[in-house]
Amino acid sequence: MKLVHTVKQVRDFLDSKKNIGLVPTMGALHAGHERLMEMARREAAVRAVSIFVNPLQFGPNEDYSRYPRTLPQDLETCERNGVDLVFAPPVEEMYPLPQLISVEVGRLSEHLCGKFRPGHFRAVATVVIKLLNIVQPQRAYFGEKDIQQLTIIRRMVTDLSLNVTIVGVPIVREIDGLALSSRNKYLTAEERKFAPTLYRALQEAASRIRTGEKDASKVREAALSLFVNSPLIRVEYLEIVDPDELQPVATISGPVRIAGAIWVGATRLIDNVTA
């Protein structure tokens, strides 16, 4: 496995190699990331992982500076999962000039996380297109936990005619249902106990839909009722949206995605399910 830090090193290493799989990450790798690497190992002849905590996608009051950085352990995780190339660029390598050009994601960022993190998905789409252009993989792997990110990237591939297949990989959960996240490390023992409420609420919503409820506001209400005895939790949003453009639906008449974000103390967690 090779560790490199510059775009040129990536291009030299991958030069004329075929069937490349890319797993873009912000590091602090956990079993969810390992699932992405497993998929890449199965499908791609050359496996690349990028590790880059992208400053542009963090808001001014978000956790950029305290986001966990665990490069030595991350490299072990990559090695163990058959990764060939790790690209861990410094910020100046990714943004040598002021970033004047960016990828605008339009109404795909109007709801869910995009509503609460202005500019976040523009920055995510921009850094992802950069990573795709640097590595030029045939396939790129993203977790379904960040469903808005995944949806935007899939649409970016279509709308900008990128020659890459995006592979969405199901959420990996703890035994009690909590979706794996690098941010779970922030939780105190007490907070950790309450964290799975989000998944239970999403499941409750999905179950109401499966048993015939069409009224999205009633489904939301049922889901939100699960938080009444969780004083440590503040719900940021819990929405039922169409899977293509992530617009809220009032009446459920086809497949939907139910997505939520909660604050548990100072930690923001997200999750989603289909129904």
Q: Which of residues 2-31 bind a copy of itself (CB under 8 A)?
A: 7, 11
59 or 106, CB closer to a copy of itself? Answer: 106
Rounded CA gap, 52 and 99, in Å?
Answer: 16
User: Catalytic: 33?
Assistant: yes
Rounded CA gap, 241 and 256, in Å?
Answer: 6
Rounded CA gap, 174 and 196, in Å?
Answer: 9
Give the phi and the psi of residue 63 in degrees, each rounded to 5.
-95, 35
Strand order in the sheet with 233-241: 233-241, 257-264, 267-274
Helix (H, G, I), strand (E, B) or coil at 59: coil
117 or 130, CB closer to a copy of itself? Answer: 130
- Contact window for a copy of itself (CB under 8 A) among 72-80, 103-111, 184-192, 200-208: 103-111
92 or 211, CB closer to a copy of itself? Answer: 92
Q: Which of residues 243-272 bind a copy of itself (CB under 8 A)?
A: 245
Applying CB under 8 A, the site for a copy of itself has a residue count of 34
CB of 101 to a copy of itself, least distance (A): 4
Identify the residue among 20, 37, 48, 108 touching a copy of itself (CB under 8 A).
108
CB of 6 to a copy of itself, least distance (A): 12
Burial of 21: CB neighbours in 10 Å, binned 0-12, 13-18, 19+ = buried
109 or 181, CB closer to a copy of itself? Answer: 109
Best CA proximity match to 80, nearest among 44, 43, 33, 45? 33
Identify the residue among 60, 65, 72, 158 touching a copy of itself (CB under 8 A).
158
Q: Say if CB 52 and CB 26 are below 8 A apart.
A: yes
Q: Which residues contact 187 (CB under 8 A, 6 or more apart)?
A: 195, 264, 265, 267
| Residue recorded with tokens 């995006």 | 166
Among candidate residues 5, 30, 33, 120, the one labeled active-site is 33
Rounded CA gap, 227 and 259, in Å?
Answer: 15
35 or 257, CB closer to a copy of itself? Answer: 257
CB of 138 to a copy of itself, least distance (A): 12
What tokens were used for 236? 């940021």
6 or 217, CB closer to a copy of itself? Answer: 6
Identify the residue among 61, 163, 251, 253 touching a copy of itself (CB under 8 A).
163
What tokens were used for 91? 């910020």
Best CA proximity match to 88, nearest among 49, 141, 43? 49
Q: Is residue 120 a contact residue for a copy of itself (CB under 8 A)? A: no
Interface contacts to a copy of itself, rule CB under 8 A: 7, 11, 94, 96-97, 99-108, 122, 125-126, 129-131, 133-134, 136, 152, 155-156, 158-163, 245
Could you list the active site residues? 33
